[in-house]
């Protein structure tokens, strides 16, 4: 039996925009049919990773493999046969849908881009079930995007992204521009489609409750680098990196009793500039546990199961201090 290739393999990805080190050595693998959430503060480089994968920007260095094929150095033309393997859904459907095109044309567009000319009848035949799959009526094909609500427009984006049956979907904050009242239904739709169709997904988000609901694995990004990777269960139960611990502590908890008992860890200042990241551990300027070595030595990635955490205080068994409970003055004594 031949096993399926990984949907996505990223090795040492670097994306510098001139002096801006947006992505600085990211490695990540997503197996077929799995969902990895990419989380981290605004400006940490999450969207840039997604944009490199779909080649909206040309990476400075590193390797991107989609469905087993190294697409890093393929020309636009060579890329065509591989285009079908990956799609992207953006945050703002109003900005990502061409206002002059009918919904039916928008949904069918990836078929044309993949180099196939699709006759009108066949196009309509492919678009109707695609719209129904995302909870829209087939008549919507004859409407323009501005005639639809935000939630409906994002359903159109999802239909377009899935029309070519991709092995991998990049979903870049797909609900955060939507009205709060429709966010859950679009998220539910994405989860249902993922379970039914089984595509792999890089799910970029700020929303940790969505992560809990949708993701198999979590990758935590800080200032252009991954600081922790692991299964959703492990990261929620035993986050190893101080930054992951702080992120989880900052997220609201559904249970009001637990919410009141928590001691939130304040991350304090804003993310440092990607123009001039701190030496050693990039998190050290905000880490409550930082000590002298953190300024001089880049922490190595300590393996934890299939994942890792990059912090000097994480032990080979994946344990270490927890900023949510530790007294910083005692950590190193
Ligand atoms: N085209 C560009 N030119 C210059 N700098 C850029 C460009 N795109 C992104 N950046 C910078 O790269 C860094 C990472 O940006 P990116 O949009 O990837 O972050 P993000 O994690 O997706 O943030 P958010 O959560 O706000 O979407 C930021 O400092 C940003 O200003
Ligand atoms: S290496 Fe040092 S600064 Fe970085 S997260 Fe660990 S303790 Fe904090
Ligand atoms: Mg982004």
Judging by DSSP bridges, how do beta strands 217-222 and 225-231 pair with one another?
A: antiparallel
Is 224 inside a domain boundary? no
Q: Is residue 2 part of a domain?
A: no
Bridge partner list, 89: 171
Greatest mean pLDDT among 217-221, 249-253, 284-288 lies in 217-221
pTM for the whole structure: 0.93
CATH number of the domain that residue 37 is part of: 3.40.50.300
| 142 shares its domain with 15 | yes
Ligand nearest to the Cα of 301, by number: 2
One domain, residues 119 and 268: no
- pLDDT on residue 175: 94
- Tell me what percent of the residues of the chain surpass a pLDDT of 90: 72
| Helix orientation angle between 150-162 and 120-133, rounded to the nearest 10 degrees | 120
Residue 251 CA to ligand 3 centre (angstroms):
18
Q: How far apart are CA 271 and CA 243, in angstroms?
A: 12
Give Cα separations from 113 to 162, 196, 201 (angstroms): 14, 25, 21
Cα of 259 from ligand 1 centre, angstroms: 32
Ligand 1 closest atom vs CA 224: 14
d(CA 38, CA 59): 18
Residue 85 pLDDT class (50, 70, 90 cuts) = very high
What is residue 253's predicted lDDT score, i.e. its pLDDT?
62
The domain tally of the chain equals 2
Ligand nearest to the CA of 243: 2
Residues 215-241 have a mean pLDDT of: 97
Q: Is 43 in the pocket of ligand 1 (CB under 6 A)?
A: yes
pLDDT class of 3 with cuts at 50, 70, 90:
confident
CB atoms under 10 Å from CB of 146, counted, come to 9
User: Measured from the CA of 51, which atom of ligand 1 is nearest?
Assistant: 18
Half-sphere exposure of 145 (CA within 13 A, CB side): 21
Q: Give per-residue pLDDT as tens, 274-293.
A: 999 999 999 999 999 999 99
User: Tokens 């992204």 — which residue?
Assistant: 161
- Rounded to whole angstroms, the Cα distance separating 317 from 214 reads 27
- Residue 196 predicted with pLDDT over 90: yes
Please check whether residues 245 and 211 belong to one and the same domain.
Answer: no
In a domain, 1, yes or no: no
Contact 128 CB / ligand 1 (< 6 Å): no
């Amino acid at each position: 039996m031949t096993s399926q290739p990984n949907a996505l393999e990223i090795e040492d990805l670097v994306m510098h925009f001139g002096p801006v080190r947006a992505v600085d050595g990211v490695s990540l693998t997503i197996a077929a049919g799995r969902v990895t959430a990419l989380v981290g503060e605004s400006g940490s480089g999450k969207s840039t990773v997604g944009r490199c994968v779909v080649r909206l920007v040309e990476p400075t260095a590193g390797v991107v493999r989609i469905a087993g094929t190294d697409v890093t150095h393929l020309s636009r033309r060579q890329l065509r046969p591989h285009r079908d393997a990956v799609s992207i859904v953006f945050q703002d459907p109003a900005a990502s849908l061409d206002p002059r095109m009918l919904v039916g044309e928008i949904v069918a567009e990836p078929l044309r881009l993949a180099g196939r000319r699709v006759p009108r009848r066949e196009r309509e035949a492919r678009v109707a079930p695609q719209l129904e799959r995302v909870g829209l009526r087939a008549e919507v094909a004859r409407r323009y995007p501005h005639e639809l609500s935000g939630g409906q427009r994002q359903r159109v984006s999802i239909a377009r992204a899935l029309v070519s049956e991709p092995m991998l979907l990049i979903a870049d904050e797909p609900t955060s521009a939507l009205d709060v009242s429709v966010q859950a239904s679009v998220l539910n739709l994405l989860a249902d489609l993922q379970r039914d169709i089984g595509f792999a997904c890089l799910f970029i988000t700020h929303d940790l409750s969505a992560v809990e609901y949708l993701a198999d694995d979590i990758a935590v990004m800080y200032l252009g680098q991954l600081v922790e990777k692991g299964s959703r269960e492990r990261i929620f139960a035993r986050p190893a990196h101080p930054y992951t611990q702080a992120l989880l502590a900052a997220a609201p908890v559904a249970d009001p009793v637990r919410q009141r008992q928590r001691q939130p860890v304040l991350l304090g200042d804003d993310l440092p500039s990607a123009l001039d990241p701190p030496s050693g551990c990039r998190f050290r300027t905000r880490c409550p546990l930082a000590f002298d070595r953190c300024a001089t030595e880049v922490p190595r990635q300590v393996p934890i199961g299939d994942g890792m955490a990059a912090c000097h205080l994480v032990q080979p068994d994946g344990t270490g201090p927890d900023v949510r409970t530790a007294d910083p003055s005692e950590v190193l004594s």
